[in-house]
Structure 1
Amino acid sequence: MAKPLRILHCFRSPIGGIFRHVRDLAEEHSKAGHEVGILCDSMTGGDYEEELFDDISPFLSLGLTRIPIARSAGLADAATLWSGYKTIKNLRPDVLHGHGAKGGVLARVIGSALRVNRYRVARVYTAHGGSLHFSRSSLAGLLVHWSERRLERLTDALIFICNFERQAYEKKIGVPTIRSQLIYNGIGERDFRPIPTRSDSVHFIYVGMLRDLKGPDLFVDAFARTERRVGRPLSALMIGDGPDREKYETMMVERGLGRRIGMLPAMRIDEAFAMSRNIVVPSRAESMPYIVLEALAASKAVIATRVGGIPEALGRTSAGLAEPDDADDLARVMAESITEPGWQERAMPQVKAIQSVFSATVMARDVLKLYNEILGFPVDI
């Protein structure tokens, strides 16, 4: 029988897809008899995230550790590494799994420091887009990609959550010199259920972080263009929190859309999905966003930009895909979704097809198998 493992997940921001990914792994691995913990930033998140921590706490036998982790690289990182090292050393994990750029640095640097002291620990890294979103032509991108290459020396395995992420890594950083594996993001069985739309629903919703990378400004612009295309007023909601909220509020007021696009704070996904049949994902960059998988599992229509791994979920020729950073093309798809009869049935993949590929059970099983193989333990899981 496989040995129970002590697994610690390190990441910066307890918001969005990375947080969802870690929660799913923690729950699945805890139920399989392993001890799991989380180390993340103490300065990010609000009431909604606290509710999510409450949900996952029964599965965190190694506890929840929150320390200040700055978003940008700087001198504060030295204090973060030292604080993280002391905490992690006391927890004595078998596996340090870093998620995102900052989480990847913490897990790999601290894991390597523990190894210097002859402590055996597996060092695993999943980028979740992160550093791969940087341009190769920018100075910041060159530094970040150079750092990622150097950090391979401190890594036992890379996990890619979609083919796009693997290809982006090979293009921007290079073919991995260490073990790497594709393990798709997955969602649980409870996510695969239709969510009825409320009687007071709106035509479109945006759900996610309020920052330019995710495209809320494109959503506002495309909404206005969609109204012009269909020749009538429409309704929408933007649901989420983030650093650019006031900017988008101002943008809506200046365009006279303040009464037709509402704004609500982050909430549970089933509550958000009940507010519309159409989920718009206007991102400028993505890896494999959970919002797309969750919406498809809930039998919603997804209108998204052709970025990251989204075409791997929707289908590369899906009518739900718009060109990136193109509000007019996004508006074209939005208009088609509410004017063409049977559009959703034609444009969206079958729920069973999504369930067969993007399963949390399969994801957790394959990740656990990788942990055990790195450590040289039996893999009869």
Structure 2
Amino acid sequence: MTQSLRIVHCFRSPVGGIFRHVRDLSHAQTAAGHQVGIVCDSSTGGDFESRLLAELEPDLALGVARTPMQRHIGPGDIVSAFRTFKLIKELRPDILHGHGAKGGVYARVFGSLLRVSGSRVARLYSPHGGSLHYDETALTGRLFFLIERLMDRFSDHILFVSQQERAMFRRKIGEPKSPHHVVHNGIRAEEFEPVAADDNAADFLYIGMMRDLKGPDIFIDALARARTMLQRPVSAVMVGDGEDRERYVAQAGERGLGDQVRFEMPMPARQAFALARIVVVPSRAEAMPYIVIEALGAGKPMIASAVGGIPEIFTTAPNALVEPDPDAIAAKMADALTDEDAYAATMPDRAFLTENFSAAAMAGRIEAIYQDTVARIR
């Protein structure tokens, strides 16, 4: 018989894939009879993310608590950490699940402090790429990997979102000392319904954070080169926000694409999918990006970087995969536009996607790990 648990998800920024992952888990765990709460940063995320949190909060028995959290290590971390610890302590979790680098450190440090005071809280960690994206030869990378090695000793379980993420952990940090499993991200049943493109849809869509790690600069350069290859204009919509957004707007203008690229602020992914016929994910690094699964679930043809866990989504149909390079992506863009129906036919089979990348399967596997972890430490 499964035990009803008090579950707290701790992470820094309520944007992107981590936020999506936590929302889906929270919905599923609440439906399963658990009391769930969220602790995250109050200084990041815009109106769109605030609305998503507001929609989620009424269903969470432990609520949503937001407090400033710095992205990088610094003096402000002391005050931020103290505030976050107080919030978590008041929630009295059975499960403290940290997501991302900052959330992972907080969950394991604060969980350990609670254990000293008599709590039997289980400390779980999901990297979601996070610090694993750093270069192991750089000083910053070595510092973060040292912290990861120290924190591993205080982990009750590590959950990786892809085989590649676990392999990267082993290569950069070492074999995990704590129990660990790979659980792929998944989407809800209704997200496997196709989304038709609007009548005036653009050729290509970029949707994601406006930062170099996600490759919006690569996308813009690839568009310019695809235009040259095809000897005709190509059109695109770029959906997202971030501190570098204006730089990408300027880059599009510099490449002569000012009239062919439209920039939009964040919106629901399925709403964005209607704005273009083909989705491009040009990331330089990833863990297991939701946007790839969401786009395929919506029946959108894709071009995607062969980085992180993305190749695991295309195991049975790798034609969409390219290197995160403007020339490689431009060539794939030209190929896709030459015969869009033929290109769409090379995407992964829907049965494969529903079997391996559903939110129900993801939540069920994580639920079993939670229960086993709680039983083991008690």
Shift of 1:316: 7.0
Structure 2 stretches of 5 or more lacking a match? none
Asked whether the 8 Å contact 1:40–1:65 carries over to 2, the reply is yes
Opposite residue 333 of structure 1, the aligned amino acid is: K
Structure 1 pair 301–341 and aligned structure 2 pair: CA distance change class (3 A): closer
* Structure 1 equivalent of residue 225 of structure 2: 225
Q: Deviations over 1:128-187 (max 9, x none)?
A: 001110111111111111110100111101001110101000000001111001111111
Q: Give the unaligned 5+ runs of structure 1.
A: none
Q: Tell me, what secondary structure is at the counterpart of 1:44?
A: coil
Deviation at 1:97, TM superposition (A): 0.1
Name 2:345's counterpart in structure 1: 346
Which residue in the other structure is 2:374 paired with? 375
Task: Determine if the alignment matches structure 1 residue 183 to structure 2 residue 177.
Answer: no
Query: Comparing 346-355 with 4-13, which one deviates more in the overlay?
Result: 346-355
Q: Quick one: distance in 1 between partners of 2:341 and 2:267?
A: 29
Alignment match, 1:211: 211
Report the secondary structure of 2:318's partner residue.
Answer: coil
Q: Whole-Å Cα distance in 1 between the matches of residues 374 and 237 of structure 2?
A: 47
Q: Cα deviation per residue 1:200-228 (whole Å; 9 max; x = unaligned)? A: 10000100000000000000000000111
Aligned partner letter, 1:322? V
Equivalences, count: 377
Q: Deviations over 1:265-315 (max 9, x none)?
A: 000111100111200000000010000000000000110111001111023
Runs of 4+ that moved beyond 4 A: none
- TM-score normalised according to structure 2 size: 0.98
Distance (whole Å) between structure 2 residues aligned to residue 99 and residue 143 of structure 1: 19
1:93 matched to 2:100? The reply is no
| 1:74 equivalent in structure 2 | 74
CA distance in 2, matches of 1:285, 1:297: 22
> Equivalents in 1 of 2:309, 2:147: separation in Å?
24
Checking the alignment, whether the CA contact within 8 Å between 1:148 and 1:173 is kept in structure 2 is yes
1:334-362, Cα deviation, whole Å (9 max, x unpaired): 11111025333432101121110011111
CA contact (8 A) 1:319 1:333 kept: no
8 Å contact from structure 1 (residues 239, 265) kept in 2: yes
* Higher alpha-carbon deviation: 307-316 or 128-137: 307-316
* Alignment partner, residue 311 of structure 2: 311
CA distance in structure 1 between the aligned counterparts of 2:310 and 2:52, rounded to whole angstroms: 25
Aligned mates of 2:247, 2:316 — CA distance in 1? 33
Give matches, 1:197-276, under 5 Å. 197-276=197-276
Name the counterpart of 1:289: 289
Percent identity, aligned pairs only, is 48
8 Å Cα contact 2:317-2:348 kept in structure 1: no
Amino acid of the residue matched to residue 10 of structure 2?
A: C
TM-score (norm 1): 0.97
Amino acid aligned to 2:320: G
Equivalent AA in structure 2 for residue 202 of structure 1: A
RMSD: 1.3
Which amino acid in structure 1 is aligned with residue 285 of structure 2?
A
For 1:50, give the aligned amino acid.
Answer: S
The amino acid across from 1:375 in the alignment is V
- 2:334 aligned partner: 335
Report 1:72-221 matches (<5 A). 72-221=72-221
2:206 partner SS: strand
Distance 2:330 2:256 in 1: 17
Alignment of 1:47-66 (within 5 A): 47-66=47-66
SS at match of 1:195: coil
CA distance in 1, matches of 2:298, 2:213: 25
- Contact 2:30/2:36 (CA < 8 Å) preserved in 1? yes
User: What do the CA deviations read for 1:27-69 (whole angstroms, capped 9, x no partner)?
Assistant: 0000000000000000011111122112322321100000000
CA contact (8 A) 2:305 2:322 kept: yes
**Letter in structure 2 aligned against 1:91:** L
**Structure 2 residue matching 1:154: 3-state secondary structure:** coil
2-structure distance, mates of 1:346, 1:190: 22
